[in-house]
Structure 1
Amino acid sequence: MSKIEIFISKKKVIIQFFIALLFIFLGILFIFYPKEFVSPVFKSVFLIRLSGILSILFFGAVILIISKELFLRKKKGLVIDKYGIIDHSSYSSVGEIKWDDVISIKKNQVMSTKFLLVYVKKPNVYLYLSDGIIKNKLRKLNMRYYGTPITISSSSLKCDFNQLENNLKKSFEDYKMRNYI
Protein backbone atom coordinates (compact mmCIF):
# COMPACT_ATOMS: atom_id res chain seq x y z
CA MET A 1 0.00 0.00 0.00
CA SER A 2 1.39 3.37 -0.93
CA LYS A 3 1.29 6.34 1.36
CA ILE A 4 -1.42 8.90 0.57
CA GLU A 5 -0.76 12.49 1.63
CA ILE A 6 -3.53 15.08 1.43
CA PHE A 7 -2.59 18.68 2.08
CA ILE A 8 -4.65 21.48 3.57
CA SER A 9 -6.36 23.52 0.84
CA LYS A 10 -5.41 27.16 1.34
CA LYS A 11 -8.26 28.13 -1.00
CA LYS A 12 -10.91 26.34 1.11
CA VAL A 13 -9.47 27.75 4.33
CA ILE A 14 -9.41 31.30 2.91
CA ILE A 15 -13.07 30.95 1.88
CA GLN A 16 -13.91 29.81 5.44
CA PHE A 17 -11.96 32.83 6.75
CA PHE A 18 -14.03 35.28 4.68
CA ILE A 19 -17.31 33.60 5.64
CA ALA A 20 -16.35 34.00 9.32
CA LEU A 21 -15.48 37.67 8.64
CA LEU A 22 -18.93 38.14 7.11
CA PHE A 23 -20.58 36.79 10.26
CA ILE A 24 -18.45 39.10 12.41
CA PHE A 25 -19.59 42.03 10.25
CA LEU A 26 -23.22 40.93 10.69
CA GLY A 27 -22.63 40.66 14.43
CA ILE A 28 -21.37 44.25 14.48
CA LEU A 29 -24.48 45.37 12.59
CA PHE A 30 -26.68 43.50 15.08
CA ILE A 31 -24.99 45.30 17.98
CA PHE A 32 -25.04 48.84 16.59
CA TYR A 33 -28.26 48.75 14.52
CA PRO A 34 -30.53 46.19 16.22
CA LYS A 35 -33.75 48.06 15.34
CA GLU A 36 -33.04 47.46 11.64
CA PHE A 37 -33.30 43.71 12.25
CA VAL A 38 -36.50 43.65 14.31
CA SER A 39 -39.02 41.37 12.61
CA PRO A 40 -41.96 39.12 13.52
CA VAL A 41 -39.40 36.40 14.26
CA PHE A 42 -36.89 38.56 16.18
CA LYS A 43 -38.92 41.11 18.12
CA SER A 44 -36.45 41.87 20.89
CA VAL A 45 -33.65 44.41 20.41
CA PHE A 46 -31.88 42.76 23.36
CA LEU A 47 -31.87 39.33 21.67
CA ILE A 48 -30.61 40.83 18.43
CA ARG A 49 -27.73 42.53 20.27
CA LEU A 50 -26.99 39.33 22.17
CA SER A 51 -26.91 37.44 18.86
CA GLY A 52 -24.43 40.00 17.56
CA ILE A 53 -22.16 39.61 20.58
CA LEU A 54 -22.28 35.80 20.37
CA SER A 55 -21.61 35.96 16.64
CA ILE A 56 -18.53 38.12 17.16
CA LEU A 57 -17.21 35.90 19.95
CA PHE A 58 -17.78 32.61 18.12
CA PHE A 59 -16.61 33.69 14.69
CA GLY A 60 -13.73 35.65 16.23
CA ALA A 61 -12.52 32.35 17.70
CA VAL A 62 -13.03 30.72 14.30
CA ILE A 63 -10.89 33.46 12.70
CA LEU A 64 -8.10 32.79 15.21
CA ILE A 65 -8.20 29.05 14.51
CA ILE A 66 -8.25 29.59 10.75
CA SER A 67 -5.38 32.09 10.97
CA LYS A 68 -3.34 29.51 12.85
CA GLU A 69 -4.14 26.98 10.11
CA LEU A 70 -3.10 29.36 7.34
CA PHE A 71 0.08 30.80 8.75
CA LEU A 72 1.49 28.48 11.39
CA ARG A 73 0.72 24.91 10.41
CA LYS A 74 3.30 23.06 8.35
CA LYS A 75 1.86 19.55 8.76
CA LYS A 76 0.03 17.67 6.06
CA GLY A 77 -3.74 17.65 6.53
CA LEU A 78 -4.12 13.88 6.35
CA VAL A 79 -1.73 10.98 5.84
CA ILE A 80 -2.98 7.46 5.13
CA ASP A 81 -0.51 4.59 5.14
CA LYS A 82 -0.24 0.90 6.01
CA TYR A 83 -0.10 1.72 9.73
CA GLY A 84 -3.16 3.95 9.92
CA ILE A 85 -4.24 7.57 9.62
CA ILE A 86 -2.51 10.74 10.76
CA ASP A 87 -5.25 13.35 10.90
CA HIS A 88 -4.50 17.07 11.17
CA SER A 89 -7.43 18.15 8.98
CA SER A 90 -9.37 20.12 11.58
CA TYR A 91 -9.15 21.86 14.92
CA SER A 92 -10.42 18.81 16.82
CA SER A 93 -8.31 16.22 14.96
CA VAL A 94 -6.75 13.51 17.09
CA GLY A 95 -3.51 12.95 15.18
CA GLU A 96 -2.48 9.32 14.82
CA ILE A 97 -5.11 6.58 14.53
CA LYS A 98 -3.72 3.05 14.13
CA TRP A 99 -5.61 0.70 11.79
CA ASP A 100 -5.44 -1.88 14.57
CA ASP A 101 -7.70 0.35 16.69
CA VAL A 102 -10.26 1.06 13.92
CA ILE A 103 -13.52 -0.90 13.96
CA SER A 104 -15.31 0.78 11.05
CA ILE A 105 -15.55 3.93 8.94
CA LYS A 106 -19.00 5.30 8.17
CA LYS A 107 -20.30 8.27 6.22
CA ASN A 108 -22.57 10.84 7.87
CA GLN A 109 -24.12 14.10 6.76
CA VAL A 110 -25.46 17.07 8.69
CA MET A 111 -27.30 19.45 6.38
CA SER A 112 -24.93 19.78 3.40
CA THR A 113 -21.73 18.83 5.24
CA LYS A 114 -20.52 15.27 4.73
CA PHE A 115 -17.97 13.71 7.06
CA LEU A 116 -16.60 10.33 8.04
CA LEU A 117 -17.01 8.77 11.46
CA VAL A 118 -14.07 6.60 12.48
CA TYR A 119 -15.20 4.11 15.12
CA VAL A 120 -12.38 2.83 17.31
CA LYS A 121 -11.97 0.08 19.92
CA LYS A 122 -10.88 2.47 22.67
CA PRO A 123 -12.65 5.81 22.06
CA ASN A 124 -11.81 7.17 25.52
CA VAL A 125 -8.11 7.18 24.60
CA TYR A 126 -8.85 9.79 21.93
CA LEU A 127 -11.03 12.05 24.06
CA TYR A 128 -8.22 13.74 25.99
CA LEU A 129 -5.31 13.72 23.53
CA SER A 130 -5.04 17.46 23.09
CA ASP A 131 -3.81 20.26 25.25
CA GLY A 132 -6.97 22.30 24.70
CA ILE A 133 -10.17 22.28 26.70
CA ILE A 134 -12.20 23.31 23.64
CA LYS A 135 -10.75 20.46 21.55
CA ASN A 136 -11.63 17.98 24.27
CA LYS A 137 -15.18 19.38 24.50
CA LEU A 138 -15.61 19.06 20.72
CA ARG A 139 -14.48 15.42 20.86
CA LYS A 140 -16.87 14.74 23.76
CA LEU A 141 -19.73 16.21 21.69
CA ASN A 142 -18.75 13.96 18.78
CA MET A 143 -18.73 11.00 21.16
CA ARG A 144 -22.16 11.87 22.54
CA TYR A 145 -23.83 12.45 19.16
CA TYR A 146 -22.04 9.91 16.94
CA GLY A 147 -20.55 7.31 19.29
CA THR A 148 -16.97 8.19 18.34
CA PRO A 149 -14.69 11.15 19.06
CA ILE A 150 -13.17 10.94 15.58
CA THR A 151 -14.73 12.73 12.62
CA ILE A 152 -12.91 13.54 9.39
CA SER A 153 -14.18 16.00 6.79
CA SER A 154 -12.76 17.17 3.49
CA SER A 155 -13.83 20.77 4.19
CA SER A 156 -10.24 21.99 4.57
CA LEU A 157 -8.43 19.35 2.50
CA LYS A 158 -7.21 19.42 -1.10
CA CYS A 159 -9.65 16.70 -2.13
CA ASP A 160 -13.36 16.21 -2.39
CA PHE A 161 -15.38 14.10 0.02
CA ASN A 162 -15.70 11.10 -2.32
CA GLN A 163 -11.91 10.92 -2.76
CA LEU A 164 -11.45 11.11 1.00
CA GLU A 165 -14.03 8.40 1.64
CA ASN A 166 -12.66 6.09 -1.07
CA ASN A 167 -9.04 6.50 0.09
CA LEU A 168 -9.85 5.82 3.74
CA LYS A 169 -12.19 2.89 3.15
CA LYS A 170 -9.91 1.24 0.58
CA SER A 171 -6.88 1.63 2.84
CA PHE A 172 -8.80 0.15 5.78
CA GLU A 173 -9.95 -2.78 3.62
CA ASP A 174 -6.34 -3.33 2.45
CA TYR A 175 -5.22 -3.39 6.08
CA LYS A 176 -7.90 -5.95 6.98
CA MET A 177 -6.92 -8.15 4.01
CA ARG A 178 -3.22 -8.04 4.98
CA ASN A 179 -4.06 -8.96 8.56
CA TYR A 180 -6.92 -11.40 7.86
CA ILE A 181 -9.42 -9.45 9.94
Structure 2
Amino acid sequence: MNIEIKFRKERITLGIIISLLLLIFSVYFIIKPEIFIRNVFMKILYIQILGIIGVVLFSALFFSILKLYFKKYALRINEEFIIDNSRYESLGKIEWQDILKIERIKKKSIEIFVNESVFQNRKLNLIKKFLMFMGNWNYKKSIIISNAFLDCGIEELYDNITKTHQNHKKTTHNSRL
Protein backbone atom coordinates (compact mmCIF):
# COMPACT_ATOMS: atom_id res chain seq x y z
CA MET A 1 0.00 0.00 0.00
CA ASN A 2 1.40 3.34 -1.07
CA ILE A 3 -0.71 6.46 -0.45
CA GLU A 4 0.33 9.90 -1.66
CA ILE A 5 -1.57 12.96 -0.49
CA LYS A 6 -1.05 16.15 -2.44
CA PHE A 7 -1.37 19.81 -1.52
CA ARG A 8 -4.26 22.11 -2.35
CA LYS A 9 -2.38 24.76 -4.26
CA GLU A 10 -5.20 27.31 -4.00
CA ARG A 11 -5.03 27.19 -0.19
CA ILE A 12 -1.27 27.59 -0.25
CA THR A 13 -1.66 30.58 -2.59
CA LEU A 14 -4.21 32.11 -0.22
CA GLY A 15 -1.85 31.51 2.72
CA ILE A 16 0.98 33.22 0.85
CA ILE A 17 -1.19 36.24 0.09
CA ILE A 18 -2.49 36.55 3.66
CA SER A 19 0.96 36.19 5.25
CA LEU A 20 2.37 38.74 2.80
CA LEU A 21 -0.41 41.22 3.64
CA LEU A 22 0.18 40.75 7.38
CA LEU A 23 3.91 41.24 6.82
CA ILE A 24 3.28 44.50 4.96
CA PHE A 25 0.88 45.61 7.71
CA SER A 26 3.59 44.86 10.34
CA VAL A 27 6.12 46.95 8.41
CA TYR A 28 3.63 49.85 8.53
CA PHE A 29 3.48 49.41 12.31
CA ILE A 30 7.21 50.13 12.38
CA ILE A 31 7.35 52.90 9.75
CA LYS A 32 4.13 54.83 10.52
CA PRO A 33 3.08 53.94 14.10
CA GLU A 34 1.26 57.22 14.65
CA ILE A 35 -1.50 56.08 12.24
CA PHE A 36 -2.43 53.29 14.66
CA ILE A 37 -2.65 55.34 17.86
CA ARG A 38 -6.27 55.24 19.00
CA ASN A 39 -6.16 56.20 22.68
CA VAL A 40 -3.89 57.64 25.37
CA PHE A 41 -2.55 54.25 26.44
CA MET A 42 -1.13 53.38 23.05
CA LYS A 43 2.40 54.61 22.61
CA ILE A 44 4.51 54.68 19.45
CA LEU A 45 7.07 52.37 21.05
CA TYR A 46 4.45 49.68 21.80
CA ILE A 47 3.15 49.78 18.26
CA GLN A 48 6.68 49.51 16.85
CA ILE A 49 7.44 46.53 19.12
CA LEU A 50 4.29 44.84 17.83
CA GLY A 51 5.47 45.62 14.30
CA ILE A 52 8.87 44.04 14.93
CA ILE A 53 7.27 40.91 16.40
CA GLY A 54 4.90 40.79 13.42
CA VAL A 55 7.72 41.15 10.90
CA VAL A 56 9.62 38.25 12.45
CA LEU A 57 6.57 36.01 12.74
CA PHE A 58 5.00 36.76 9.36
CA SER A 59 8.35 36.61 7.53
CA ALA A 60 8.89 33.09 8.86
CA LEU A 61 5.30 32.18 8.01
CA PHE A 62 5.55 33.59 4.49
CA PHE A 63 8.84 31.78 3.85
CA SER A 64 7.49 28.47 5.16
CA ILE A 65 4.28 28.59 3.12
CA LEU A 66 6.18 29.65 -0.01
CA LYS A 67 8.43 26.58 0.35
CA LEU A 68 5.35 24.31 0.36
CA TYR A 69 4.17 25.64 -2.98
CA PHE A 70 6.97 23.85 -4.85
CA LYS A 71 6.65 20.45 -3.17
CA LYS A 72 4.94 17.63 -5.10
CA TYR A 73 3.24 15.81 -2.25
CA ALA A 74 2.36 16.54 1.35
CA LEU A 75 2.31 13.03 2.79
CA ARG A 76 3.43 9.63 1.60
CA ILE A 77 2.28 6.62 3.59
CA ASN A 78 3.50 3.06 3.04
CA GLU A 79 4.08 -0.10 5.07
CA GLU A 80 7.53 0.90 6.32
CA PHE A 81 7.32 4.63 7.00
CA ILE A 82 5.45 7.89 6.62
CA ILE A 83 7.01 10.89 4.89
CA ASP A 84 5.57 14.14 6.23
CA ASN A 85 6.12 17.19 4.03
CA SER A 86 2.86 18.88 5.05
CA ARG A 87 4.70 21.82 6.63
CA TYR A 88 8.03 23.48 6.08
CA GLU A 89 9.16 22.39 9.54
CA SER A 90 8.04 18.78 9.10
CA LEU A 91 10.52 16.05 9.94
CA GLY A 92 10.20 14.13 6.68
CA LYS A 93 10.63 10.37 6.86
CA ILE A 94 9.49 8.70 10.09
CA GLU A 95 9.54 4.95 10.43
CA TRP A 96 6.51 3.26 11.99
CA GLN A 97 8.53 1.71 14.83
CA ASP A 98 9.42 5.25 15.98
CA ILE A 99 5.75 6.18 16.34
CA LEU A 100 4.37 5.61 19.83
CA LYS A 101 0.81 6.91 19.62
CA ILE A 102 -1.55 8.67 17.19
CA GLU A 103 -4.36 10.97 18.38
CA ARG A 104 -6.87 13.35 16.85
CA ILE A 105 -6.70 16.85 18.27
CA LYS A 106 -9.14 19.63 17.57
CA LYS A 107 -11.12 19.41 14.33
CA LYS A 108 -8.39 19.51 11.71
CA SER A 109 -5.24 18.04 13.25
CA ILE A 110 -3.56 14.78 14.14
CA GLU A 111 -0.86 14.52 16.79
CA ILE A 112 1.72 11.78 16.35
CA PHE A 113 3.88 10.98 19.36
CA VAL A 114 7.34 9.76 18.38
CA ASN A 115 10.50 8.56 20.09
CA GLU A 116 12.75 11.39 21.20
CA SER A 117 15.55 9.89 19.12
CA VAL A 118 13.68 11.05 16.00
CA PHE A 119 14.27 14.68 16.97
CA GLN A 120 17.86 14.10 18.02
CA ASN A 121 18.76 12.71 14.59
CA ARG A 122 17.41 15.76 12.74
CA LYS A 123 19.27 19.00 12.26
CA LEU A 124 16.81 21.88 12.26
CA ASN A 125 17.58 25.47 11.33
CA LEU A 126 16.41 28.41 13.43
CA ILE A 127 13.28 29.06 11.34
CA LYS A 128 12.19 25.41 11.60
CA LYS A 129 12.73 25.37 15.37
CA PHE A 130 10.80 28.63 15.75
CA LEU A 131 7.88 27.39 13.64
CA MET A 132 7.81 24.02 15.42
CA PHE A 133 7.64 25.77 18.78
CA MET A 134 4.93 28.19 17.61
CA GLY A 135 2.76 25.40 16.20
CA ASN A 136 3.30 22.73 18.84
CA TRP A 137 4.35 23.43 22.41
CA ASN A 138 5.06 19.73 22.85
CA TYR A 139 7.37 19.78 19.83
CA LYS A 140 10.10 17.57 21.33
CA LYS A 141 7.72 14.63 21.82
CA SER A 142 5.19 14.89 19.02
CA ILE A 143 4.45 16.27 15.58
CA ILE A 144 1.18 17.75 14.42
CA ILE A 145 -0.23 17.14 10.97
CA SER A 146 -3.00 19.50 9.92
CA ASN A 147 -5.13 19.12 6.83
CA ALA A 148 -5.22 22.89 6.23
CA PHE A 149 -3.20 22.61 3.00
CA LEU A 150 -3.93 18.95 2.20
CA ASP A 151 -6.10 17.54 -0.56
CA CYS A 152 -8.01 15.17 1.75
CA GLY A 153 -10.25 15.28 4.79
CA ILE A 154 -8.98 14.79 8.33
CA GLU A 155 -11.03 11.60 8.84
CA GLU A 156 -9.58 9.98 5.72
CA LEU A 157 -6.07 11.03 6.73
CA TYR A 158 -6.49 9.75 10.29
CA ASP A 159 -7.90 6.42 9.04
CA ASN A 160 -5.03 5.92 6.58
CA ILE A 161 -2.36 6.71 9.16
CA THR A 162 -3.85 4.62 11.98
CA LYS A 163 -4.63 1.60 9.76
CA THR A 164 -1.14 1.55 8.30
CA HIS A 165 0.41 1.96 11.76
CA GLN A 166 -1.74 -0.89 13.16
CA ASN A 167 -0.86 -3.12 10.20
CA HIS A 168 2.82 -2.44 10.82
CA LYS A 169 2.42 -3.32 14.52
CA LYS A 170 0.67 -6.58 13.60
CA THR A 171 3.24 -7.65 11.02
CA THR A 172 6.22 -6.83 13.25
CA HIS A 173 4.57 -8.51 16.25
CA ASN A 174 3.75 -11.65 14.20
CA SER A 175 7.26 -11.79 12.72
CA ARG A 176 8.79 -11.72 16.23
CA LEU A 177 6.73 -14.74 17.32
Q: TM-score, normalised by structure 2?
A: 0.81
For 1:101-180, list aligned pairs within 5 A.
101-109=98-106, 114-120=108-114, 122-136=115-129, 138-139=131-132, 145=138, 148-180=141-173
* Distance of 1:82 and 1:14 partners within structure 2: 32
SS in 2 for 1:106: strand
Aligned to 2:79: 82
Aligned to 1:97: 94
Q: CA RMSD in A?
A: 2.7
Q: Is the 8 A contact 2:60 2:131 kept in 1?
A: no
Q: Which runs of 5+ in 2 are unaligned?
A: none
Residue 61 of structure 1, CA deviation: 2.6
- Could you say if the C-alpha distance between residues 124 and 41 of structure 1 is closer, same or farther in structure 2, counting changes exceeding 3 Å? farther
* Distance of 1:26 and 1:139 partners within structure 2: 24
- Could you say if the C-alpha distance between residues 46 and 117 of structure 1 is closer, same or farther in structure 2, counting changes exceeding 3 Å? same
Q: Is the 8 A contact 2:37 2:44 kept in 1?
A: yes
Q: Which runs of 5+ in 1 are unaligned?
A: none
Name the % identity: 29
For 1:52-91, list aligned pairs within 5 A.
52-71=51-70, 73-74=71-72, 76-91=73-88
